[in-house]
Structure 1
Amino acid sequence: MTDARYADAGPDISLAIRAEDAEDLRILATLAQDAVLTAGDMLHDGRARRFSLLLNRFRWEDAEAARREGRPYERVRSLLVISDALRVRHDGIDRADPGTVLSLLDLGWQPGDDGTGILTLNFAGDGTIAIDAECLSVDLRDVTRPYLAVSGDMPRHE
């Protein structure tokens, strides 16, 4: 596999959405649910006030069509970018081991004063990232063409 490049994505298949309120975030979280990444796929750029994650995102938007057509499920490399990130805290995630595999379960927003708030990223195994943000601004953008899901199956959990 080569590095993900935005130019690899086709216009008819790539996803590019932004969440700026709680309702938007619910939609974005649904599309990012069950994405897999490593601890090394996360970067906090304090100077730019940006926290980025390179995900292997399950293509939920295509899952029903794949099931109906009897074809394999797909994943795609996507960037999840949180802008206006003032502070990032980790709990239950070993950032010292960049090979640690993480599975994203949900994103949540706890509003604060004057548009500020805390964005939480919840991972399987009780790992959490909490981001103090000046405002809610989250982008999810596919950066490669879809590829066959290695497991060949749809993610399942209770």
Structure 2
Amino acid sequence: MPDVKDLRLAAEDAADLEVISAALQDAVTHVSELAFLPSTRRFACVVNRFRWEGEGKARKQNHERVRAGLHFENVLSARARNISQDKPDGVLNLLAIRFDELNAPSGVVTMVFSGGAEVQLEVEALEAHLSDLGLVWETPNKPAHDLD
């Protein structure tokens, strides 16, 4: 495995968030790892991120995942759709994160998961941070998507 550095990314606009979204594509987490903290206006989650940046052109037998933390500041409200809050061990597979600006700089962040699940965050202004937490492990499984 090549020596890949821990990611530390920040987003303050939709283009920045696209970079974070790409880094988090196919991250997996449990429902219990998602938290809205209204008193601090923060939404946070911990995920197992596939290390896409460590993938080269050569076929590899082993790939890497890393624990990563993602949080959004300035969150006014959070809504979940098709996520069973009563099943904290439920697994969520993150596909993408979007930002729709409504009345600059406010807008809605949508975390899109497989199976039609979503988390929508109403934000006063976009401010997101992604940080790898250092725990890395090998996996023989590489996410693949049927493009049909």
Question: 1:122 — aligned with what?
Answer: 112
Find the aligned partners of 2:104 and 2:58 in 1 and give their Cα distance.
46
SS, match of residue 108 in structure 1: strand
Find the aligned partners of 1:102 and 1:59 in 2 and give their Cα distance.
17
Unmatched 5+ residue regions in structure 1? Answer: 1-11
Find the aligned partners of 2:61 and 2:135 in 1 and give their Cα distance.
16
Cα deviation, residue 144, structure 1: 1.9
Find the aligned partners of 1:72 and 1:31 in 2 and give their Cα distance.
18
Higher share of residues assigned strand: 2
Find the aligned partners of 2:104 and 2:27 in 1 and give their Cα distance.
31
Find the aligned partners of 2:84 and 2:14 in 1 and give their Cα distance.
28
Name the TM-score, length of structure 2 as normaliser.
Answer: 0.92
Question: 2:77 — aligned with what?
Answer: 87
Question: 2:141 — aligned with what?
Answer: 153
CA distances 1:52-78 after superposition (whole Å, capped 9, x unpaired): 0100000011012xx627351000000
Whether the 8 Å contact between 1:14 and 1:145 is mirrored in structure 2 is no
Question: 1:63 — aligned with what?
Answer: 55
Find the aligned partners of 2:74 and 2:144 in 1 and give their Cα distance.
33
Question: Which amino acid counterpart does residue 131 of structure 1 have in structure 2?
Answer: L
Question: Which amino acid counterpart does residue 20 of structure 2 have in structure 1?
Answer: L
Name the TM-score, length of structure 1 as normaliser.
Answer: 0.86
Question: 1:96 — aligned with what?
Answer: 86
* 2:43 equivalent to 1:51: yes
Find the aligned partners of 1:69 and 1:108 in 2 and give their Cα distance.
30
- What RMSD in Å do the two structures reach over aligned CA positions? 1.5
Cα deviation, residue 157, structure 1: 1.1
Find the aligned partners of 1:98 and 1:106 in 2 and give their Cα distance.
21
SS, match of residue 70 in structure 1: coil
Structure 1 segments (4+ residues) deviating >4 Å: none
Q: What percent of counterpart residues are identical?
A: 30
Aligned length: 144
Cα deviation, residue 15, structure 1: 0.6
Find the aligned partners of 1:145 and 1:53 in 2 and give their Cα distance.
15
Find the aligned partners of 2:43 and 2:145 in 1 and give their Cα distance.
27
